[in-house]
Amino acid sequence: MAALAKDAVIGVIGAGVMGAGIAQVAAAAGHPVLLLDAQPEAIARARADVEKDLQSRVGKGRLAAEEARATLARLQPADWDDLGRCALVVEAIAEDLEAKRTLVARLQQGVGRHCIIATNTSSLSVTAIAAGSHHPERVVGMHFFNPPTRMKLVEVISGVDTSAEAARTVFDTAEAWGKKAATARSTPGFIVNRIARPFYGEAWRVLAESAASPATLDAIVRDCGGFPMGPFELMDLIGHDVNFKVTQSVFEATFGDRRYTPSLAQQELVRAGRLGRKSGRGIYDFRDGAARSQPTVEAGSDPVRRVVAVGSLGIATPIITRLEQAGIDVVRVQGTGAAATAGWLEIGGARLMLTDGRPATRRAAEEGHEHLVLFDLALDYAATPRLGLAPADQCGPAALRTVCATLAKGGFACSPMDDVAGLIVLRIIAMLVNEAADAVAYGICTADAIDDAMRYGVNYPRGPMAWAESVGLDFFARVLANLREHYGGERYRTSVLIQRRGWTRSGFRE
């Protein structure tokens, strides 16, 4: 199949923010668009909002005036009887299963026999929505992200009975509209809302252990992990009511899988009405005059002039380069045994190592070095402005200050955390990789679809599969095993695909 021709009529049911945005996207791609809503005034508001957005783009030089006029002219109000002309109808009504199911069943009585019906649901089962219709094979999930005119991703979701032809047509059409489409089977959370759960869930668990303040954790995730926002500031932006509801929905839909357990602390925020930016307070205080929370930084004291690098730091080797560029003498010593591939830096009397999912205190006891300081995973150690650190309980404060002062010479702002297994960035990334591996293992979607979805849907700097390829599945397998041993339970169970070390960019390893 191929994308729908530009003269194919597109119907959009629901003239709210999502419906209006979807209608604008289709009209901008050249299609005649029919917009319907139970409230006639909603259509007028939608067209006014579309016109305002188009004019804004014209004013910024991003769109020609004649193109804006043509786009608006292609967007017209319609009645129910007009839908027989449509090749594709996208419903964008409220997120209510019974309402959507009833609408889809009614639509199939009024559209042509080749018309595809797409449901813009973010979490409801496409299979369930299509179940009441006579032709479930023509019902496809088409999940746009808000705002549809600016967010690149569209998830194309197939229910149990969705035909491959219908799904392919919707996929190709979304791509023709300038979107990045990703396909998946109908499953709780689809791709983005399922894969992203650890980004929030692990942050809540680390906060519950009092490892650091939300501002410090956000700064480490942002600066070290390369994410555009930290988990707590992002939840404040989304709204804790919305974020909690999605987590709760995935948890319930997976029959209480502990990996998706909602946070009691977030539930309390919702109960208190502290929903984030929209209510004035969430994790942070957005009220006028409120002080802005700042991350903790340890400047340290007494930096050393000479550092000993034992073995290989692997992906963290740029730390050595940055210290050398700062004028610090680095003496390299060839490691033996485990140090050959998991080396460390001797800074004064302290040993600095990359976390592997074990708490620093336990690792110090197991490896026989009291003054152990672990550092967190980073997207790019050559460029990161910050390092998250966790000292072992046996490590004296003077040793930590020396480590921080020395790293500061290399341009690292050091943000200490209390000793927590896996710190914060590694915890999140390991669980994202694990979640992605399960999605591939269970045939929900492909590895490429996951990385595309997470990059274009929530602006991750690197998809989980790309992280796995960059850092290595063996490393993440060890991290997950260490987390499970430390915490017990099923939350950190390792995906069968990681245990097999078995994926490629296209799916399973041959």
Query: What one-character-per-residue DSSP string does 399-420 give?
Result: HHHHHHHHHHHTTPEEEE--S-
Active-site residue identified among 143, 240, 369, 371: 143
3-state helix, strand, coil in the chain (%, to 5): 45, 15, 40
Average pLDDT over residues 112-120: 95
Domain boundary among 416, 438, 456: 416
**Residues 84, 47: one domain?**
yes
What pLDDT does 132 receive?
81
Q: What is the pLDDT of residue 342?
A: 78
Task: Please report whether residue 299 resides in a domain.
Answer: no
Residues 332, 258: one domain?
no
Cβ atoms of residues 465 and 447 within 8 Å: yes
pTM recorded for the entire structure: 0.93
If asked whether residues 245 and 274 sit together in one domain, one would say: yes
Helix (H) / strand (E) element for 155: namely: strand 153-158
Token pair listed for 165: 């032809």
pLDDT in tens, 351-374: 999 999 999 999 999 988 889 999
Alpha-carbon distance of 345 to 339, in angstroms, equals 11
143 is catalytic: yes
Q: Quick one: average pLDDT of 411-431?
A: 98
Closest to 344 (Cα-Cα) out of 353, 336, 356 = 353
Catalytic residue among 91, 120, 137, 155: 155
Q: Which residue has the tokens 């169970």?
A: 493
- Of residues 31, 91, 122, 346, which has the active-site annotation? 122
Average pLDDT estimate for 258-273: 97
Q: Which amino acid is at 431?
A: M
Q: Is residue 191 part of a domain?
A: no
Does the pLDDT value for residue 398 go beyond 60? yes
Query: For position 86, which CATH number holds?
Result: 3.40.50.720
Instruction: Verify that 128 and 20 share a domain, yes or no.
Output: yes
State pLDDT tens for residues 304-313: 999 999 999 9
pLDDT attached to residue 510: 41
| Within a domain: 68 | yes
C-alpha count within 13 angstroms, C-beta hemisphere, residue 227: 28
**To 5 degrees, how large is the angle CA 193–CA 455–CA 412?**
110
Judge whether residue 505 has pLDDT over 70.
no
Q: Containing H/E element for 209?
A: none
Residue 38, SS3?
Answer: coil
**Domain boundary residue among 398, 416, 434?**
416
Residue 506 has pLDDT above 60, yes or no: no
Which of these three, 416, 444, 463, is where a domain ends?
416
Strand partners, 154: 144, 181
DSSP 288-327: TTPPPP-------S---SEEEEES--GGGTHHHHHHHHTT
pLDDT value at residue 340: 57
| Integer angstrom CA distances of residue 479 from 156, 204, 364, 422, 493 | 33, 19, 16, 7, 11
**Confidence class of residue 509 from pLDDT cuts 50, 70 and 90?**
very low
Between 110-119, 314-323, 494-503, the lowest mean confidence (pLDDT) is in: 494-503
DSSP state of 134: S
Task: For residue range 86-104, list pLDDT tens digits in order.
Answer: 999 999 999 999 999 999 9
% of the chain exceeding 90 in pLDDT: 92
3-state secondary structure 46-111: HHHHHHHHHHHHHHCCCCCHHHHHHHHHHEEECCHHHHHHEEEEEECCCCCHHHHHHHHHHHHHHC
Instruction: Convert the pLDDT of each residue in 449-494 to its tens digit.
Output: 999 999 999 999 999 999 999 999 999 999 999 999 999 989 999 9
Cβ burial 123-151 (10 Å sphere, 16+ → b, else e): bbbbbbbbbbbebbbbbbbbbbbeebbeb
Check whether residue 135 and residue 79 sit in a common domain.
Answer: yes
Backbone angles phi and psi of 183, in degrees to 5: -100, 150
The span from the CA of 224 to the CA of 265, in Å, is: 25
Count how many residues are written for the chain: 510
Q: Tell me the C-alpha to C-alpha distance, in Å, between residue 442 and each of 435, 447, 496, 498, 508.
A: 11, 12, 10, 13, 11
Structure tokens at 332: 């390299």
Q: Are residues 412 and 430 in the same domain?
A: no
Q: What is the pLDDT of residue 500?
A: 84
Using alpha carbons, list the distances in angstroms from residue 172 to 5, 12, 151, 166, 458: 11, 18, 17, 10, 21
Whether residue 147 is preceded by a cis peptide bond, meaning omega within 30 degrees of 0, is: yes
pLDDT at 169: 98
The span from the CA of 503 to the CA of 510, in Å, is: 9
Q: Which pLDDT does position 69 carry in this prediction?
A: 96
Domain match, 112 and 207 both: no
Letter for the amino acid at 258?
Answer: R
Q: Which CATH number does the domain housing residue 335 bear?
A: 3.30.750.190
End-to-end CA, the chain: 28
pLDDT in tens, 297-338: 999 999 999 999 999 999 999 999 999 999 999 999 987 766
Task: Return the sign of the alpha-carbon dihedral for residues 356, 362, 367, 369.
Answer: positive
Is it the case that residue 386 has pLDDT exceeding 70? Answer: yes
Can you tell me the mean pLDDT for 391-402? Answer: 95
pLDDT band at 501 (very low <50, low <70, confident <90, very high): confident
How far, in Å, are 89, 91, 152, 173 from residue 118 at the CA level? 6, 6, 18, 12
Q: Is 125 a catalytic residue?
A: no
122 vs 422 pLDDT, higher one: 422
Residue ranges making up the domain that contains 456? 203-211+213-288+424-510
Quick check: is 298 in a domain? Answer: no
Phi, then psi, of 442 in degrees rounded to 5? -95, 10
Mean pLDDT within 163-179: 97
HSE-up of residue 103 (Cα within 13 Å, Cβ side): 25
Same domain, 157 and 44: yes
At 23, which helix (H) or strand (E)?
A: helix 17-28
Angle formed at CA 293 by CA 290 and CA 294, multiple of 5 degrees: 145
Domain holding 501: CATH number? 1.10.1040.50
Do both 52 and 162 map to the same domain? yes
Q: Is residue 35 part of a domain?
A: yes
| Torsion of the alpha carbons at 389, 395, 396 and 398, rounded to the nearest 10 | -40
Same domain, 327 and 393: yes
Q: Is the pLDDT of residue 507 over 60?
A: no
The yes-or-no verdict on residue 236 having pLDDT over 60 is: yes
User: Are 171 and 223 in the same domain?
Assistant: no
Residue 406 dihedral angles phi and psi, to the nearest 5° = -70, -45
> Would you call 495 a catalytic residue per the annotation?
no
Tell me: do 383 and 326 sit in the same domain: yes
Domains of the chain: total: 3
Return the residue matching tokens 């889809």.
104
Q: Let me know if 155 is a catalytic residue.
A: yes
Q: Which of 193, 213, 249, 495 is catalytic?
A: 193
What is the chain's mean pLDDT, rounded?
94
